[in-house]
Amino acid sequence: MSVTIRQVGIDTTDPQRLANWWAEQTGGVIYADTGQYAMVGIGSQDDGFSLCFQQVDEPTSGKNRVHLDCATPDLEVETRRLVAAGAAFVAEHETDGFAWVVLADPDGNQFCVTSSQ
Backbone angles phi, psi at 75, to 5 degrees: -60, -45
Of the listed ranges 26-30, 60-64, 94-98, the one predicted with least confidence: 60-64
Decide if 90 contacts 102 (C-beta within 8 A). Answer: yes
Residue-level pLDDT at 43: 87
- The pLDDT tens digits for 29-88 are 999 999 999 999 998 877 788 999 999 998 878 778 889 999 999 999 999 999 999 999
Q: Give SS3 for 31.
A: strand
Q: Which amino acid is at 17?
A: R
Residue 50 vs residues 43, 44, 67, 77, 116: alpha-carbon distances, Å: 9, 10, 14, 25, 20
Domain annotation for the chain: domains and CATH numbers: 1-59 (3.10.180.10), 60-117 (3.10.180.10)
Distance CA 117, CA 110 (A): 22
Residue-level pLDDT at 117: 63
Max CA pair span of the chain: 45
